[in-house]
Amino acid sequence: MIRLMIADDHAIVRSGLKQIIATTIDIAVVAEATRGEEIFEQLQKDAVDLLLLDMSMPGLAGLELIGRLQRTHARLPILVLSMHNEGQIVARALRAGAGGYVTKDSEPEVLLAAIRKVTHGGRFIDPALGNVLVFDHGPARPLAHEALSERERQVLEGIVAGLPLGEIADQLHLSPKTVSTHKMRLMEKLQVDNNADLIRYAIRHGLTVD
């Protein structure tokens, strides 16, 4: 029996995945996480054979999360399940330590095949991503939001959630002036000029939170 942890911050996605898994006799969902930090907590409590990981979650996420898991749980296979199908993102996830990459619009049969193969030490790439990886030979330029500090990302999440800067400051125990400075710096890094463009960037790159 493959013991699976689903790490995704969207309840609807987790519910749909569990329905797919329920059709099998050799895979069982034993743990769930909605933030990167929760993954480590769950791994202390549950024996897990495979982590099914969304790249875009609140807090610790993406390549940084995969890298930390590689350092602390090197033997845990990771299968990325993501909305992103850009070649550079796929390649970065695999180089960081993921054993496979599947997009969220894949057929259930593809996902189940990926789970079984990566759990047993294999590597799996969504067949739909073949051409993307073959023909995307551009330099692996870092995405702008990868340069954000943890504080800047937290401020971004607050803005995208529609919170005023004063409330963000209260939640982060910072002064409004400091939050304004973080906002200015993150907008410079993302090369946007206003909140509307900032929110569009977050949506486009899956940085939104529920």
CA dihedral 53, 59, 61, 67 (to 10 degrees): -120
The pLDDT assigned to 142 comes to: 59
The pLDDT assigned to 202 comes to: 79
| pLDDT tens, residue by residue, 83-130 | 887 777 888 888 889 999 999 888 999 999 999 999 999 999 888 776
- Rounded distance, CA 205 to CA 84, Å? 8
- Rounded distance, CA 197 to CA 64, Å? 25
The pLDDT assigned to 85 comes to: 77
Q: Give the whole-number percent of the chain exceeding pLDDT 70.
A: 90
**pLDDT range class, residue 134, cuts 50, 70, 90:** very low
DSSP track, the chain = -EEEEEE-S-HHHHHHHHHHHTT-SSEEEEEEESSHHHHHHHHHHS--SEEEE-S--SSS-HHHHHHHHHHH-TTS-EEEEES---HHHHHHHHHHT-SEEEETTS-HHHHHHHHHHHHTT--EE-GGGHHHHHH--S--PPPGGGG--HHHHHHHHHHHTT--HHHHHHHHT--HHHHHHHHHHHHHHHT--SHHHHHHHHHHTT----
Helices 165-172 and 176-190, packing angle to 10 deg: 110
* pLDDT at residue 59 is higher than 70: yes
Mean pLDDT, residues 136-152 taken together: 68
The pLDDT assigned to 203 comes to: 72
Mean pLDDT of the chain: 87
As beta bridge partners, residue 100 has 79, 124
The pLDDT assigned to 141 comes to: 53
pTM for this entry: 0.65
